[in-house]
Chain A
Amino acid sequence: MNKFYHSVRLDEDKCKGCINCIKRCPTEAIRVRNGKASINSKFCIDCGECIRICENHAKIAFVDTLREMDRFEYTIALPAPTLYSQFNNLDDKNIVLNGLLRMGFNEVFEVSAAAELVSEGTRMFLSEHKDGMPWISTACPTVVRLIRVRFPNIIEHLLPIKPPVEVAAELAAKRAMEKTGLPREKIGTVFISPCPSKNTYSKSPLGTDKSEVDLCVAIKEVYPKLLSAMKSVAETDYPDISTAGRIGLSWGFSGGEAGGALCDNYLAADGIENVIKVLEDLEDQKIENLEFVELDACSGGCVGGVLTVENPYLSVARLHHMRKYLPVQVSHLEDSEDTDERSEQFELLKFDNGIKYEPVFNLGDSIIEGFVRLNQAERLEKKFPGLDCGSCGAPTCKALAMDIVRGEATEDQCIYLMRKHIAEMASELQSASREAKKASGDNTRGNYEYVDRYIDKIAGDLSRMSDTNGVGYKGISNEG
């Protein structure tokens, strides 16, 4: 399993080598080199910001497709709560659920039903673990990945409870095996996802060794097929098969998960920049006395995912509307007088293993090497203009300095330094020419040779510079 598996990728043919994505990336994971963007897989957290900003659609969300369902004998749809918010004038989510069955899924297991179990488990966990507060939600894989690489002091506050999609897949697969008698590999659990980050989770999960989610498909792929299936469902009598209420549905928007935790002091932040701000403040102990912190990388919560079709704020409005007619909670951890049995179910919700800090931003292998390189980078940064223009292919002057000390870039990639360098060479050439005239007197041949040598040297310098330049101007100057 690749620790740094990614679902946000680059379509190189479409990339024009502009600097929009490098500026937007919250972990400064993208560089433009030789006229094309490239994503550093260790820094990338699959947030999808570059997908949003790229006007050329060169950043793509790599997820599974519905066609891949063919390899299973029995398929279970796992709709994200967000899916219900994508349709106009929808009052009853049973139309969506029955529509999925009509589309060809053998069964449906609502992720919002599993979310209600996770909410219940979270409440149990919070009441038993007051010491480690604030507990931070682990439902958004991008947030977990961000904390893993950038906030080592926050890791111990991560709520060690599996995300709803994992719980849904586990329960659905188990139930289907009992019902059909099929082996696990013939049963396909198919998450209908608002974001590529969940695909990353399903292929390379954190907190558990292997995910029970077999496929992760995009809401936007399912949408047109589901819409027509829903139309035919709505014309008939359809059964009530929903197993989730208000708490489960609310996981689709920011604040929903925290609301379901039913605690007095919670914070919910959405949008990756806001999430980072909250984590910084938590690290400085600037924020105190919180029990629970919900963090969603996308604005608005999961409804803001890049694989959705609808405006996230309209989606929130729809979920609020749909919520009104639902009971508070429909799915429960099986009622039992026996506390042991109850805690056994609760155990199933917990992480199989902890999350480890990945110091990917370290400049060196040891603290001494790190110190030396940081020192170099600080000095280098002072040479740069501090405009953060991005022309070197790095998002900021600081980032370029770091790249240079890591051996991944050179000073001449800064066009300002290069301009200075050229000016120096020009004046060097001028004085060389004067010197040559003086030295050779009337000997014009010697004079030419002297100047020739300098021209050669400078031509060499110049061509080296254009080779190393990050943002390419191919077709404009290089080939000419």
Chain B
Amino acid sequence: MDDTIVLEYTVDAEDFTRAGEASSDVKKKLKQMGVSPNVIRKVAIAMYEGEINMVIHAQGGEIKVYITPENIKMVLKDVGPGIPDVEKAMQAGWSTAPEEVRNLGFGAGMGLPNMKKNTDSMEVETEIGKGTTITMVVNMLGNE
């Protein structure tokens, strides 16, 4: 489609050092496009949290970012264990991250709440044993 820019990223499992690469690339492009700094901040935070989640809970996954002049849609897809109770996972502080991950300073239970807080819409599709797809949208208007 000519009216959408599609960016694709692969997130590697259990490689903390590389988490943030996708977010960094998207930020750079949005800045070049002239998107307002506040929109960029929201996208960066939501995407980074999503990337980290994919590294911690799933065995990595794929991120697709769809950019139009109206909004930025991020689709984060993994084939991990799925989220048993989405409602609980959306609560601040609720975490199932293993001890060693928490020791690294991650898994404080703020991932999904932070993603929700920084986006205009967020949908979680998840199936136990199959994986999770999170779709988030940040609008250009109303976030300047």
**Which residues of A are in contact with B by a Cβ distance under 8 Å?**
150, 152-153, 280-281, 283-286, 357, 359, 361-364, 366-371, 373-375, 378, 402
Contact = CB atoms under 8 A, between A and B. Distances in A.
Nearest to B38: A153
Nearest to A402: B32
A370 B67 CA distance: 12
Interface residues of B, number: 24
B31 to A, nearest CB: 6
B33 A153 contact: no
A152 B27 CA distance: 11
A362 B34 contact: yes
A90 B68 CA distance: 62
Interface in B69-111: 69
A364 B34 contact: yes
B35 interface: yes
Interface in B35-50: 35, 37-38, 40-41, 44-45, 48
27 contacts: A152-B40, A153-B37, A283-B41, A283-B44, A284-B23, A284-B24, A285-B45, A285-B48, A286-B20, A357-B37, A362-B31, A362-B34, A363-B32, A363-B33, A364-B33, A364-B34, A367-B33, A367-B69, A370-B32, A373-B33, A374-B5, A374-B32, A374-B33, A374-B67, A375-B5, A378-B7, A402-B32
A439 to B, nearest CB: 40
B95 to A, nearest CB: 16
Given A280-B20, A283-B27, A359-B34, 14 more contacts: A152-B31, A153-B41, A283-B44, A284-B24, A284-B44, A362-B33, A363-B32, A363-B34, A367-B33, A367-B35, A369-B34, A371-B67, A373-B33, A378-B5
A419 to B, nearest CB: 28
Interface string B2-20: 1001010000000000001
B140 interface: yes
B87 to A, nearest CB: 25
